[in-house]
Amino acid sequence: MNVKNVLIFLIFFTYILSAKPLPLFFEGNEHLDDRTLYSAVGLYKPYFYEFWKDEPAVDPKTLKILTTTIKNFYRMNGYFHSKISYHEANKTITITVQENPPIIVDNISTISEQNINAEIPFKIGDVFNAQAFTDSKNAIKLHYADFGYCNTDLNAKSWVDIETNYAYLMYEVTPNKLCYFGAVTITTPQSIEPRVINSFLNFTKGDLYSPDRIRQSYDNLYAQEGIAKAIIDTSEKNLSIVPINITVSEYSDLRRFSAGGGYSSDEGMTLLAGIKYRNFFGNLKTVSLDTRYTEIKQTVKANFNMPLSNRNTFGIDAALENERFDGFKERHLYETLYLKQNRIPHSYQESILFDHIRTYDSSNFLTFPNGTLFIISPKMQWNYDIRDKILNPSHGHFLQTEVTGSIHSDISDASYYKFFISGGYIYPLETSVAALRVNVGSLRVYEGRIPASYRFYAGGMNSNRAYSYRQLGPKDSNGNPTGSDSILESTLEYRFPIYEKFRGVLFNDTTFIGNSYYPDYDKGTYSFGAGLRYLTPIGPLSIDFGFDIANPSEEFALHFHVGELF
């Protein structure tokens, strides 16, 4: 090769290496949005708040591969006749999609002892999706496994007629024998005893096999701060017996630092910081110190948490908290001893609260007397939660209960009881969600005095959204909310898609309050409103506007928060 050819080769090679990626756009795609197509070719489309990230761009030399990938992706999603082309202009690349008629599911045949309709993601008339069909086979096997059949035979087939654009599906299931958990072998690092891991498992040898019990065991294990990784291996099957091999590892760095911030219309700017020492002196004990600062409340909290046998946990909280109310301020120094039982989806907690309360800077000494109180309150809690997600649930329901009280004595300044119950139901519709929540609370003081913060305050993003935080209810002569002895609130929401990551919500909030141990049902506050949601990886960014139906021009409020309210 002469010098001239070498120079030409080097120039060409340098050109290839220095080829600049060009911005990529899609057009013509109606049923698959841009973000889905970017993901299909391994690109990430930044959300609007990720302003520091570059927009998707590709090397022009990869366009043939990209168009082939997009075409295969459309075929997998039922568009067998799609046509994909591209053109380059104005230093940008545009991939044009002509979707054409899709493959439609025309018949679904099932032979099964169990009802598997919920595991089949198709109805007659739906667009056929190859990946969804593959996923349905796994879902059917898991469905049978939840009833103890771990060796189910499944004959599932799909016939696609690209001349008529119809798909025909068949599922035939043979369950075989029931399966049972076999011997459980646990491998742990030296700092964690196998008996501790065994206490978090929801199954024992001889129990009927259930993937749901395995999932619950995973939840229990990963709820422990000291566990970095847990593997529950069920691959070794011996006919109808399933031996279990569990491997657990801990973090190489047992210290965990955290910090963050946010904003809500109730508390304003929020700053968080904390440090946690995981697996403190072994067996998954933890100690932590956390701080939380908002415009109305500042908290410093220390915690010690120690797992016990049979999914029980013992812990101690100690905290200093300062909170500003309209008309007064309160400083709490409290300690809590608790015993918690985790029985997913149930959890129970019994605790004793030692609360030192100082009320100061009062603007109304009769309603909010300055002074110091000390109250010892036993507390019982029970939670039941089967929502699919916490920040953005699409189905499920929950119930949360709390009962506390005290007896006036030389060591406690009040005899009182207080209970609070919150329950919700989330029901999925075609493309939307209907959700209902009801909160009920009652407080009664028999002797002595309790701090004003123990009372119920209404209004705000987690209450009646026609009002600002704590601004609904009785007020003193200075216009400061005094709280109530009882409350009943309901929230009804209809959540629906708008466009891509944007969602909307219509809501009705109803509130009844009273100054006895039950609310005054003759005087209700009814509000209506609408909200906007933008879905992000941390949950929906939410804004709600509500107004009082009886007085919409004067009683209204705007609220900001992250996540759905329930």
- Reported as a single tens digit per residue, the pLDDT across 8-26 is 444 444 444 456 789 999 9
What amino acid occupies position 191? Answer: S
Q: What span, in angstroms and rounded, lies between the C-alpha atoms of 456 and 515?
A: 10
What DSSP string describes 185-223?
Answer: EEE--TTS-HHHHHTT-S--TTSBP-HHHHHHHHHHHHT
| Mean pLDDT, rounded, for 33-46 | 92
Select from 445, 439, 525 the least CA-distant residue to 485. Answer: 445
Asked whether the beta carbons of 376 and 412 are under 8 A apart, the reply is: yes
Q: What span, in angstroms and rounded, lies between the C-alpha atoms of 423 and 400?
A: 6
Give the whole-number percent of the chain exceeding pLDDT 70. 97
pLDDT of residue 17: 47
- Report how far Cα 330 is from the mean position of its chain's Cα atoms: 32
pLDDT of residue 327: 95
Asked whether the beta carbons of 506 and 500 are under 8 A apart, the reply is: no
Given a cut of 80, whether residue 444 has pLDDT beyond it is yes
Asked whether the beta carbons of 78 and 100 are under 8 A apart, the reply is: no
Q: φ and ψ at 460, to 5 degrees?
A: 125, 180
Q: What span, in angstroms and rounded, lies between the C-alpha atoms of 477 and 515?
A: 17
- Per-residue confidence at 468, pLDDT binned at 50, 70, 90? very high
Select from 242, 288, 295 the least CA-distant residue to 268. Answer: 295
| Mean pLDDT, rounded, for 503-520 | 95
Given a cut of 90, whether residue 47 has pLDDT beyond it is no
| Mean pLDDT, rounded, for 465-494 | 96
State the chain's mean pLDDT as an integer: 92
pLDDT of residue 236: 85
- Reported as a single tens digit per residue, the pLDDT across 179-233 is 999 999 999 999 999 999 999 999 999 999 999 899 989 988 998 889 999 999 9
| Mean pLDDT, rounded, for 461-475 | 96
Q: What span, in angstroms and rounded, lies between the C-alpha atoms of 341 and 383?
A: 11
Q: φ and ψ at 258, to 5 degrees?
A: -140, 150
- Per-residue confidence at 145, pLDDT binned at 50, 70, 90? very high
Give the whole-number percent of the chain exceeding pLDDT 90. 81
**β-pairing, 541-548 with 486-499?**
unpaired
Name residues whose C-beta falls within 8 Å of residue 384's C-beta, 6 or more positions apart in sequence.
Answer: 345, 346, 398, 399, 400
Q: Which of the two residues, 89 and 495, has the higher pLDDT score? A: 495
- Per-residue confidence at 2, pLDDT binned at 50, 70, 90? low
Angle at 142 between CA 138 and CA 145, to 5 degrees: 140
Q: What span, in angstroms and rounded, lies between the C-alpha atoms of 37 and 410?
A: 70
Asked whether the beta carbons of 561 and 545 are under 8 A apart, the reply is: no
Helices 130-145 and 63-76: angle between axes, nearest 10 degrees: 50
Q: Between the CA atoms of 16, 20, 23 and 26, what dihedral angle is there, to the nearest 10 degrees? A: 0
3-class SS of residue 408: coil
Which region among 92-96, 308-312, 548-552 has the lowest average model confidence (pLDDT)?
308-312
pLDDT of residue 344: 81
pLDDT of residue 49: 72
Q: What span, in angstroms and rounded, lies between the C-alpha atoms of 130 and 402?
A: 48
pLDDT of residue 10: 44
List, in order of start, the domains of the chain with CATH numbers.
14-98 (3.10.20.310), 104-174 (3.10.20.310), 372-562 (2.40.160.50)
Q: What span, in angstroms and rounded, lies between the C-alpha atoms of 493 and 450?
A: 35
| Mean pLDDT, rounded, for 433-445 | 97
Contacts 24+ apart (CB under 8 A), 205-209: 205/181, 206/180, 206/181, 207/180, 207/181, 208/148, 208/178, 208/179, 208/180, 208/181, 209/145, 209/148, 209/150, 209/178, 209/179, 209/180, 209/181, 209/242
Given a cut of 60, whether residue 4 has pLDDT beyond it is no
Asked whether the beta carbons of 177 and 240 are under 8 A apart, the reply is: yes
Name residues whose C-beta falls within 8 Å of residue 130's C-beta, 6 or more positions apart in sequence.
Answer: 75, 76, 77, 78, 158
Q: What span, in angstroms and rounded, lies between the C-alpha atoms of 387 and 381?
A: 19
Q: Which strand ranges, in their side-by-side order, compose the sheet holding 92-98?
A: 57-58, 22-27, 92-98, 83-89
What DSSP string describes 109-132?
Answer: EEE-SS--GGG----TTPBP-HHH
For the record, the structure tokens of 277 come out as 């020492």
